[in-house]
Amino acid sequence: MSDVRRVFFVSDRTGITAEALGHSLLTQFDVVTEQATIPFIDSVEKSSGALKRIRAASARDLNRPIVFSTIIDQDVLAVLRDSKDIVLYDFFDTFIKSLESELKVPPQQIIGRSHGMADDSMYDIRIEAMNFALHHDDGATLRHYGRSDIILVGVSRSGKTPAALYLALQYGIYAANYPLTADDLVDNRFGSGLPQGLRHQKDKLFGLTIDPDRLHQIRQERRPNSRYAELRQCEYEVARAEAMFRRERVPYLDITTMSIEEIASTLIHQRGLSRRV
């Protein structure tokens, strides 16, 4: 028997909304959870199948499984609501009725509306921003840095690429990223300033840094027992990079304990970036 709380996010579409809201609530409680998402539950038959899966997975648990739902169709949802061996939290039921009363307009109850592609132009903006991030990943090319909204700078494996891609996909922000190489950091010892390719884009720069111990762990997974992954090398690179940021007055952020969502939100807030999506 296990006292781990098993949590399921059940949705008639992707489950992204249920996950986001459910995670936000669960972070307020110091409990150990095992989580799973069950998407595309858009029929009574699929709902029954999902319930069987939930029951099977939690058959030996001490506590009832927690189910967060964003299912619109009431017949589909009823399969879960009528079950006595799960704890159901229906996000739409919690908020929709109150909003309907306040807005005095009945809900349309359209499945997948929150993540639908209501505007084709938004899709195009995301794709263009993604292409920009990919073409300007790890300093692959500096030619179009002038088009960027932000240029992320940091040592290798300090979170630049995932942050740039997330900004592009979620918000349509043009984000490039530049890795500080060994040559950049050696030159930096003598106060030679920013790397040549960044000097004319200083107002767009934002540094990302990370705890050397965490960097060491990440690099060990990528290149075990290499000089690149040595703790001493990680300590050296992080110290030199942060010294550069401070001397050149480049704002920077320690991302060691931050999620990708937190990093993106902080960058948007601190830099005042305009979201295209």
Is pLDDT of 277 > 90? Answer: no
- For residue range 118-137, list pLDDT tens digits in order: 557 788 899 999 999 999 99
Residue 192's pLDDT band (cuts 50, 70, 90)? low
What is the rounded (10 degree) CA torsion for 180, 173, 146, 187? -10
pLDDT of residue 2: 62
Per DSSP bridges, beta strands 87-90 and 33-38 are unpaired
CA 71 to CA 232: how far, in whole Å? 52
Of residues 175, 122, 171, the one with CA closest to residue 145:
175
- End-to-end C-alpha distance for the chain, whole angstroms: 46
What is the chain's mean pLDDT, rounded?
Answer: 91
Distance of CA 177 to the CA centre of its chain: 17
- For residue range 25-84, list pLDDT tens digits in order: 999 999 999 999 999 999 999 999 999 999 999 999 999 999 999 999 999 999 999 999
What predicted TM-score, i.e. pTM, was given to this entire model?
Answer: 0.70
CA 125 to CA 169: how far, in whole Å? 9
Structural tokens at position 189: 């010892």
- For residue range 218-275, list pLDDT tens digits in order: 999 999 999 999 999 999 999 999 999 999 999 999 999 999 999 999 999 999 999 9
Could you tell me if 199 and 248 are in contact, meaning their C-beta atoms sit under 8 angstroms apart? no
